[in-house]
């Protein structure tokens, strides 16, 4: 029986993809490299190291990942002020889970600084979650299941007792590899690309009741 829900962040509780993409494009431009939004698509959901590093590799750009990631986050923090809010249904879905006495975890491939920026801007305090895992807490990134295994463990649950809510192909693959059931949201990818999910919805506002009642 379901005992916990593990949320990805970007594309699940907040739509920040276009802003981190814009920040990354600006960062590369500061180095004289022009990149396109489509360059980032294969690396969505894999964490900023892979997000930036994958695009840099495409262009043969010698990225200094810590320096360039820090600059990207700096630009990102400036861009999102007053511009992001919880995605449709997020607050109500969290309440539905709480009514059912389900434990909640946030598991994001983003670094802690981006995670806290997003939570602050959308008005959801970190204390909302029983456990939080960010990209700096794991060695292996999605589609490896480490981040979800870690989050479930912090709630004293197994992944088999958890629903993973994801919007990315890498995230669904990671959730299934961890042994969890998955709800795929079509905020970033088409439904057919998330076909391995147990349930698919546009946003958490349309999430089926059976996703949290099995």
- 196-213 burial code (b ≥16 CB/10 A, e <16): ebbbbbebbeebeeebbe
Which member of 10, 68, 111, 198 is catalytic?
A: 10
- DSSP for 6-42 reads EE-SBTTTB--HHHHHHHHHHHHHHTT----GGGGGG
Which member of 8, 68, 111, 167 is catalytic?
A: 8
Asked about 64 being catalytic, the answer comes back as: no
Please give the C-alpha separations between residue 151 and each of 12, 36, 168, 173, 188, in angstroms, as whole numbers: 16, 33, 18, 16, 23
Asked about 167 being catalytic, the answer comes back as: no
Dump strand ranges (E) for the chain.
Answer: 4-7, 103-107, 131-133, 162-166, 181-185, 199-201
For residue 126, the tally of other CB atoms under 10 A from its CB is 11
Write out the catalytic residue numbers: 8, 10
């Amino acid at each position: 029986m379901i005992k916990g829900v593990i949320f990805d962040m970007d594309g699940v509780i907040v739509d920040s993809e276009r802003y981190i993409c814009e920040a990354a494009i600006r960062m590369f431009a500061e180095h004289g490299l022009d990149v396109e939004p489509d360059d980032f698509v294969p690396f969505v959901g894999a964490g900023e190291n892979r997000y930036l590093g994958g695009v840099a590799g495409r262009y043969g750009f010698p990225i200094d990942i810590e320096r360039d990631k820090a600059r990207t986050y700096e630009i990102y923090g400036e861009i999102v002020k007053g511009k992001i809010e919880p995605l449709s249904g997020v607050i109500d879905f969290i309440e539905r889970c709480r009514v059912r006495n389900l434990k909640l975890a946030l598991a994001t491939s983003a670094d802690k600084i981006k995670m806290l920026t997003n939570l602050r801007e959308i008005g959801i305090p970190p204390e909302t979650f029983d456990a939080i895992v960010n990209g700096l807490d794991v060695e292996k990134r999605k589609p490896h299941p480490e981040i979800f295994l870690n989050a479930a463990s912090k709630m004293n649950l197994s992944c088999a007792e958890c629903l993973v809510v994801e919007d990315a192909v890498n995230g669904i693959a990671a959730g299934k590899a961890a042994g969890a059931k998955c709800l795929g949201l079509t905020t970033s990818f088409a439904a057919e690309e998330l076909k391995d999910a147990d349930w698919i919805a546009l946003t958490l506002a349309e999430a089926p009741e059976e996703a949290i009642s099995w």
